[in-house]
Structure 1
């Protein structure tokens, strides 16, 4: 018996069932899209929804839409007149994100941006309550610098993939820019006196950061 498989099964059985629209989006992503593993998935998605529902944000920024799963999860916690801005560099993914954002009835709450996040973030005249980082791992530190002053005091950032398949504790190949980017980001946050943070070992690692 595979103990990890049994634990995963137990976790799923004792968690709220997946939203039908998100279940359909997960299936279509796995069938139609390259690297479907990048999708947040049910358990992480539930965590995103519950964090958002606890914080009750008016403005959310997501860097890395992919197929829209995490955006839909996060938007469920927005206040009535809230808005989520989500940025995706790959324009070939826009169709599937748009399709399921509309299926979820979230088109009035979620605004999609296609392009380089480092160019789009400065153009957003918003103050964010919650920021989800899930874009290019090489750019995490730059994203952090670009968004920090746009996050309200007491606001939160959540960074995905910060354990990077365990590579953060292995010898780093100097050509591996993604791992180097994650390590630099993790150290940057660790040494930033303006925040408190905790690493959650869910899936590929999440860092929850609170701006003081």
Structure 2
């Protein structure tokens, strides 16, 4: 959710300095890519890094690469021999993300996939200790259904944008498929006995889901 500039600056002042490479990536994104607000940014990125370091995953799946900021944040928690699969439908962003994966030293640990995540996820025949969902909001339910059996007991799924700029508490427009998708996903997770979950009202809302 939106917060005051003063409060955000206070939070930033208490965090470790942003990785210079991530600063460069953020500047590049805001200068050259459409909808740069999709970038995770320093505050959310630091949360993703902390969660990944706590899980210390061998395998990560990210749905929605964008320009690679969140993938780099998540990759910082990987085990030494671990790797991260990241899926992006926009092929125009592939080279930019790859450039920064290489600069970050993760070129051998980050595996890029270009295309529809709903088609790609079934081809990944492995388990994931950590999943980050940040793709098409209309497909969040489908993503969850596709990944839940690929997450072992104790594994974590993080879903971004689950408060959707506050639209989740407004009277939903039946033609607003993005909001409808988020609402359906939030309710599905709440009703699923296989998982427990909590919500961080950070930025646009992060749901942290743990498989029982």
What TM-score do the two structures reach when normalised by structure 2? 0.98
SS in 2 for 1:113: strand
Establish whether residue 189 from structure 1 lines up as the match of residue 189 from structure 2. Answer: yes
Deviations 1:2-50 (A, max 9, x none): x811111111111011000000000000000000000100010011011
Deviations 1:183-206 (A, max 9, x none): 000000000011000010000000
CA–CA separation in structure 2 for the residues paired with 1:173 and 1:72: 36
- State the 1:141 CA deviation: 0.2
Deviations 1:146-201 (A, max 9, x none): 01100011100000000000000001111100000000000000000110000100
Aligned pairs, number: 210
> Which residue number in structure 2 is paired with residue 87 of structure 1?
87
| Large movers: runs of 4+ above 2 Å | none
SS in 2 for 1:65: coil
- State the 1:63 CA deviation: 0.1
1:1-212 to 2 correspondences below 5 Å: 4-212=4-212
CA–CA separation in structure 1 for the residues paired with 2:178 and 2:109: 32
- State the 1:93 CA deviation: 0.6
RMSD between aligned residues: 0.7
CA–CA separation in structure 2 for the residues paired with 1:165 and 1:172: 13
What TM-score do the two structures reach when normalised by structure 1? 0.98
Structure 1 unmatched runs, 5+:
none
CA–CA separation in structure 2 for the residues paired with 1:97 and 1:46: 19
